[in-house]
Amino acid sequence: MPTSTFFRLPEERRERLVNEAIAEFSDRTYIEASLSQIARRARIPKGSVYQYFEDKLDLYRWLLTEEAPRRKREFLGAASQEGDFWTRLETQIERGMAFLVEHPRLARLSAAAADPTANVEVRGLHKAICEAGLVELRAVLEDGAASGALEAPDLNVATRLVATIIGPGLTDVVLQELGAELHEVLASDSLRKRLGPKRRRRLAQQAVLFIRSGLGSSRS
Amino acid sequence: MPTSTFFRLPEERRERLVNEAIAEFSDRTYIEASLSQIARRARIPKGSVYQYFEDKLDLYRWLLTEEAPRRKREFLGAASQEGDFWTRLETQIERGMAFLVEHPRLARLSAAAADPTANVEVRGLHKAICEAGLVELRAVLEDGAASGALEAPDLNVATRLVATIIGPGLTDVVLQELGAELHEVLASDSLRKRLGPKRRRRLAQQAVLFIRSGLGSSRS
DNA sequence: GCCAGGTGTGACCGATCGGTCATATGACCG
DNA sequence: CGGTCATATGACCGATCGGTCACACCTGGC
């Protein structure tokens, strides 16, 4: 956790540090990311950063478990309760895509938890975040099953498959749709505007259609 | 590409180097992986390694584009041509899972190409490998569409969604089935034996069922 | 004016990295 | 034997890292 000094910082200085940290950790691995670089870019002496955080991991952990979720909640608001199960899922996916497009760095940062080559220092942290996401998604699918909208031979397997669809899968599709690579989207402010609500909705519909009905021909 | 000296090396020495390189690159990022460590573990002076490869990237590139695919082809053999589209897909997925379970380090190494935070040095390399995989999968799905077994509103989107299912998705499911984490599977020789052909087949069936029919209840 | 305590700062530390290079080794040839 | 050539080797280089620490600075209370 950050020290009290950190929270007493002038907002401009604090924001500079946090934003540069998000930038660095969102396009490099935890190990690859450089605290020296963050400090340099934020124009804050490295010694000062160590007045605010215990060490590199402390900063990373706080970003991943506190700051990023806070900003994400702020953007997403409460989940919609309208419509049937599949409509709600579609809305949820569309909102997720909006977040990905408006705050790609935050989305990347959170997605890093699923990185399978995670170093031992962050493995526990990443796993906890991952599991929490899966539990949440599983609850959604259980709702669907309870309402009779959804059937799965093994809900654990189904949960994980759906998670990869709406996680890395949709990210991939969005990038293809933008005709750009991840690092370009992270760097550019204008690129992401090209994926407006209309196209997002269309992609969300396709994703839900896939999850709901698969690719099997009606004839088969 | 390796130098001719490399290929003239005593097999035992060459194997030691290659195996340690696969081990290192399969549980760390390209940037995180240490050539010094590889050399140390293979008990080969670092200077010698530079007699065999131009630099770190040269070794990595050769592993990723030559050695790993060679070993994979060796393991998989020719694709089955029997049965209808969905049966063939199931067989293909089951074989992929077998490879994942028998050669987890090679599987990880290849999967690294999909890593989204890839450093600029390896970005082009990873992208090329990724695209090649997608083209291949797309051809398979086109076959399915041509034979009438499969229908998709947008084959590009479908290809990418299926790719994440049979890639990271199934890896995740397999890990859950093993009750282990990736690094444990990479380290252990016995863990992977717990996923025999029977259970692999069952998982492959579930995956194909998901891709073919989705999770929508028959009532809906 | 002076002290105390919170804060800012950058030189510094030891470790590790990718990569180089002068030198040693050893097999083959005349 | 001497000479040549491929190869082996590890000390060395500059850069970067995460982290520390002695010291400068400032503000408020006495």
pLDDT > 90 in chain B, percent = 90
Chain B environment of A141 (Cβ under 8 Å)? 215
pLDDT, residue A191, reads: 80
Flag whether pLDDT at B193 surpasses 90.
Answer: no
pLDDT of residue B219: 54
Mean pLDDT throughout B163-176? 97
CA of B53 and C1' of C26: distance in angstroms?
23
Nucleic acid strand C within 7 Å of A7 CB? no
Give the one of A127, A206, A213 whose C-beta lies nearest to B216's C-beta.
A213
Contact status, residue B97 vs residue B107, Cβ threshold 8 Å: no
> What are the residues facing A150 on neighbouring strands?
B216
Where on strand C do bases come within 7 A of a protein Cβ?
Answer: 6-11, 16-22
Closest protein residue to C8 (Cα–C1'): A48
B35 touches strand C (CB under 7 A): yes
Q: Give the whole-angstrom CA distance, residue B182 versus residue A6.
A: 36
A80 band by pLDDT with thresholds 50, 70 and 90? confident
CA dihedral B124, B126, B129, B130 (to 10 degrees): -110
For A87 and D10, how far is CA from C1' in angstroms?
66
Q: Terminus-to-terminus CA distance in chain B, angstroms? A: 56
Tokens standing for residue A69: 């979720």
| A43 CA → D29 C1’, Å | 33
pLDDT band for position A43 (cuts 50, 70, 90): very high
B33 CB and strand C closer than 7 A: yes
Mean pLDDT of the A59-64 span? 98
Three-state secondary structure string covering B200-215: HHHHHHHHHHHHHHCC
Is A117 in contact with B29 (Cβ distance < 8 A)? Answer: yes
> Is B174 within 8 Å of B102 (Cβ atoms)?
no
- Kindly state whether A210 is in contact with chain B, defined as any CB-CB distance less than 8 angstroms: yes
The encoded tokens of residue A167 equal 């996680």
Mean pLDDT of all residues belonging to chain A: 95
Hey, which residues does B216 pair with through a beta bridge?
Answer: A150
Distance A217 CA to C16 C1' (A): 56
pLDDT in tens, A18-34: 999 999 999 999 999 99
Q: What share of chain A is helix, strand, coil (3-state, %, to 5)?
A: 75, 0, 25
Q: What six digits make up the tokens of B136?
A: 């291949």
Confidence of residue A219 (pLDDT cuts 50, 70, 90): low
How far apart are the C-alpha atoms of B160 and B199, rounded to whole Å? 26
* Per-residue model confidence as pLDDT tens digits over B53-77: 999 999 999 999 999 999 999 999 9
Res A218: pLDDT:
76
Nucleotide closest to A50 measured between CA and C1' = D19
What does pLDDT average to over chain B? 95
Nearest to B152 among A112, A120, A215 (CB): A215
The verdict on B40 touching A (C-beta cutoff 8 Å) is: no
CA distance A59 to chain B (A): 19
**Structure confidence by residue, pLDDT tens digits, B92-143:** 999 999 999 999 999 999 999 998 888 999 999 999 999 999 999 999 999 9
User: pTM surpassing 0.75?
Assistant: yes
